[in-house]
Amino acid sequence: MEEYVGIKWHEYITRKARTDFPDAAVYLKEQQLTLSIVFRALGGDPGLRIEAATPRDYYTRRSFLQKVASSHNQVELAWKDGETLRLPERLALFPDKELNRKLYIWLSALASQQNDEFESWFVDNQRLTATVLAKFNGLSMIYHELAKAFIRLRPKPEHLGQDDGAQEKAIQRAILDPGCERVFPPAKYAPMPVYLWLYPSGGVNGETEGMIADDPDADGTDSKSGKRKSKRKKAERQDSYNKNSGLMVFRLENLFSWSEFVPVDRAGDDSKEEDAESVADDLDVLSLSRDRKAASSSIKFDLDLPSADSDDLILGDGILLPEWDYRKNRYFDNHCCLLPVIADDAGSAELPSHLRSSAMKLRRQFSNLKPVRSWVNRQIDGEEIDMDAWQDFCSMRSQGQVSGDPRLYRSFSAQTRDLSCLMLADLSLSTDTYINNEQRVIDVIHDSLQLFSEALSSTGDRFALYGFSSRRRDHVRFNMIKNFNERYGEVVRGRIQALKPGYYTRMGTAIRQATKVLSVEKSHQRVLLILTDGKPNDLDCYEGRYGIEDTRMAIIEAKRLGLQPFCVTIDDEADEYLPYIFGNNAFVVIKDPQQLPNELPRLYVNLTQ
């Protein structure tokens, strides 16, 4: 009974302390497509993602009921950095649902014009607001409607103290007339959040210090994950854990609770726990500390690279290639070292038995694309006279209409398919994962390369096969499976079956080398087909937007040389970044990875028909 009364009391107090309007709530996931279009149409950076912001600690005046309910100590604020635009996951600020939707649009428009970090949060937001209203007159009515409704929700300056009231008056005047206030008055308490403005991405500056805590999302980047995305956690800094702090007898309070600090040396311990994700979901706070002393006394083996006896054969000293840094808007020349490798222990191999039926069907279908010998009419020279052309010539000569050299012959020749295709396969460690606990991704790639080769060998098209993986910029591996002049057969099959997953995905470097190989082909149509299971990433800075921008620039370079890049992926989240890298019509997502071996040849036909 006491527990039931406590639950009801908590629900009552929480409801009384609310200042939002749940019935008018609008959610970011429902508006994300519209906001993305608005943001980019108004000039926003096309490489930025729009994602939900994590609640941040906000230190401001709270009512008695809010203190009792322990609410309103965290808020979702809008901010932008070099990789993402963060907007509140849910907006219920106004009692009108349409106003909440317009607030999302206004924040997107405001972010589209923000190019630099805030120097003065108060002044810069006014300047930014005035800029948007001057450039886009259609947003003026929306903003003034939002401003008037927002002012009605803010506290009355006369109900506050002298300093707090002066600060609140300045904020309200700045909202109604952007640009009129040049100084942010100091006060004892932080003001109520200004939801019409953007906030600093890195946490605090001179004006917001004391208001908001450092944001855990500010330095975070997405990583390859499963089908679900977990919400980011609040983080807190802890002092380094000292294991040698002296003798301590056991006490009951030394047992760790879910939310207490546990020392984990992430840099020295990369072991994977099966239930790590579920444990993290149960934690309210993730505590982070910098501690490198313990790692110095431990023995750490570098298991990323295999021993020389079991490694592939490295051909040459490596090829130096540039890399694009979008932050500095320039190339780093000779920044990456690409190592051509070939499977040293790969022997000859037959086609696996489970692929023989599909291979026979594909060879039969693709043989129809093979060039056939046929008569070519109306030629200047040939094996015999073209009677139709001769009759037309005689008729036109009798009318005096003959001009130029007559084409009176026909020849028997083959109509060639003038194209070359280079397949570049991702061999990173993520391909070692299982699909539905049945088959690994790397096994699907093996089968795809086998059937793709069987199909193309039936057409007589020129094709080459390469794979890639990486371990930082100085070790980008470029697996040579089949070059353009090599015949497809048992040796190539053996190399395909010998491919092993490992390392990471420095995609831009591999694409640049593939572009060099394909660009020397003399074919009229040159297709660069990229097979991957995730976004670009590596151990160093090559992650997040940096890797995406470098890969995008490598694709632009390939297109400038007349190549036709196309990406085939099995990543469920590819729609978030592949349109930016390849374009809307230059990629395809295979929903069922096990269908990839059969779908790949069909995609090739559509690309080259």
Complete domains list, the chain, with CATH: 2-176 (no CATH), 341-366+417-608 (3.40.50.410), 372-414 (no CATH)
Q: What is the mean predicted confidence (pLDDT) over 113-118?
A: 86
Dihedral of CA atoms 485, 488, 494, 495 in degrees, nearest 10, equals 30
Are 420 and 523 in contact by the 8 Å Cβ rule? The answer is: yes
* Phi, psi of 40, deg, nearest 5: -80, -35
Give CA–CA dist 495/480, Å, rounded: 9
Give CA–CA dist 335/446, Å, rounded: 31
More confident residue, 594 or 413: 594
pLDDT at 70: 75
Q: 355 — alpha (psi -120 to 50), left (phi > 0) or beta?
A: alpha
Q: Residues 78-90: pLDDT tens digits? A: 999 888 899 999 9
Report residue 576 CA to chain centroid gap. 6
Report how far apart, in Å, the C-alpha atoms of 139 and of each of 107, 111, 243, 599 are: 11, 14, 59, 47
Tokens 């790397």 correspond to: 442
83: tokens are 């990789």
Beta-carbon-side half-sphere exposure of residue 276 (alpha carbons within 13 Å): 7
Q: At a CB cut-off of 8 Å and minimum separation 6, what does 433 contact? A: 440, 441
pLDDT at 265: 47
Mean model confidence pLDDT for the chain: 81
Q: Residues 461-482: pLDDT tens digits? A: 889 999 999 999 999 999 999 9
* Phi, psi of 35, deg, nearest 5: -65, -35
Are 441 and 431 in contact by the 8 Å Cβ rule? The answer is: yes
**Nearest one of 531, 499, 510 to 599, comparing CA atoms:** 531
Q: Residues 139-172: pLDDT tens digits? A: 999 999 999 999 999 989 888 888 889 999 999 9
What residues form DSSP beta bridges with 385? 409
Q: Checking DSSP bridges between strand 49-53 and strand 56-57, what pairing results, if any?
A: unpaired
More confident residue, 266 or 528: 528
Report how far apart, in Å, the C-alpha atoms of 410 and of each of 171, 384, 385, 397, 431 are: 86, 6, 6, 20, 54
Q: Residues 388-403: pLDDT tens digits? A: 887 887 887 777 776 6
pLDDT at 217: 52
Residue 299: pLDDT above 50?
A: no
Instruction: Spell out the long-range contacts of 68-75 with Cβ–Cβ below 8 A and sequence spacing 24 or more.
Output: 68/13, 68/17, 69/10, 69/13, 69/14, 69/16, 69/17, 71/14, 71/17, 71/18, 72/17, 72/19, 75/193
Give CA–CA dist 562/282, Å, rounded: 52
Q: Which of 10-14, 92-96, 587-591 has the lowest mean pLDDT?
A: 10-14
Dihedral of CA atoms 148, 149, 153, 156 in degrees, nearest 10, equals 20
Q: What is the mean predicted confidence (pLDDT) over 224-235?
A: 48
User: Cβ-count burial of 504 within 10 angstroms (0-12 exposed, 13-18 middle, 19+ buried)?
Assistant: buried
- Model pTM score: 0.70
Could you give the maximum distance between any two Cα atoms of the chain, in Å?
120
579: tokens are 């349109």
